[in-house]
Amino acid sequence: MDPVDGLVFSREGAVATVRLNRPERLNAITFEMLEGITEFVRENGRDDDIRVIVITGTGRAFSSGDDIVSGMGDRPSRYGDPVGLSANLGPHHNLVKTLMSAPKPVVAALNGLCHGAGWVTALSSDFRVARDDIVIGDIRSGKAIFAGQGVGLLLPRLIGQSRAMDLLMTGRVINATEAERFGILQRLWPADQWETELGAFIEELASGPTKTYAAWKLTVNRSALAELDGFTDYETRLAQLARNTDDAKEGVQAFREKRPPKFIGR
């Protein structure tokens, strides 16, 4: 892998790790980072020597989401117009699809705040494991941002429609205990045991029957993957409508100015 600003790639034995590494920005994600994570997962998914892929963050956040304050950089031109039917449904869609179809266990090791596109990345991973001091949630609705990026498909399957509607519409965040109770987290460890427990869990996966894991993963994800393209196209059209509202513009401006938004319902 070529170097990517904001990411650190490493391989140790059968484990490949990508670390989001913009701690001063709470690991806010750029288009270049999205592309880098996707290619790293794709490349290591094809490598027979790699048996587990880990995604984690540096500092006090897994990721705060897309970088809507400093900007995400130029959208890759090969994705074309972000509105309307297209065989290329955008870099977030490409990331979700790659995470869900890679024939290796993908572990989202949540070391801190997890929101927005970081939340999307975690939900698309096979395992979400966390320290007991994390805070997690979509949060975008509170800024009048509709950018589901597959969450509207994946989250109800994971925790049920009512709980998903609550988290997505209100934008509220939940602590680690509630996230485990909902079924979002599969493993939860005290912060002072995080490194030890995470290492043991990853080693267990890396020592397991990788091809059998792949078969289970692709079976479980088959229906969601079959629906994902059409869902994303529909979601993209809704996002374009939502993005042009007065409330959406106010939400982003208020976030940049670090003040409460004043929504008018239009």
Backbone Cα Rg of the chain: 18
Cβ atoms of 263 and 251 closer than 8 Å? yes
**For residues 161-169, average pLDDT:** 97
Cβ atoms of 36 and 4 closer than 8 Å? yes
**For residues 175-186, average pLDDT:** 97
- Reported as a single tens digit per residue, the pLDDT across 58-95 is 999 999 999 988 888 877 766 655 554 444 688 999 99
Q: pTM for the full model? A: 0.93
DSSP states along 207-239? TS-HHHHHHHHHHHHHHHHHHHHHHHHHHHHHH
**For residues 166-189, average pLDDT:** 97
Average pLDDT, the chain: 93
Q: Round to whole Å and give the CA distance between 189 and 198.
A: 8
Q: Tell me the percentage of the chain whose pLDDT exceeds 70.
A: 95
CATH superfamily of 7-191: 2-enoyl-CoA Hydratase; Chain A, domain 1 (3.90.226.10)
Identify the pLDDT of residue 134. Answer: 97
- Reported as a single tens digit per residue, the pLDDT across 106-130 is 999 999 999 999 999 999 999 999 9
Segment holding 43, helix H or strand E: helix 31-45
Identify the pLDDT of residue 255. Answer: 85
- 127-131 and 187-189 as β-strands: parallel, antiparallel, unpaired? parallel
Identify the pLDDT of residue 84. Answer: 46
Identify the pLDDT of residue 127. Answer: 98
CB-based burial of residue 190 (10 Å sphere; 0-12 exposed, 13-18 middle, 19+ buried)? exposed
Domains of the chain by residue range: 7-191
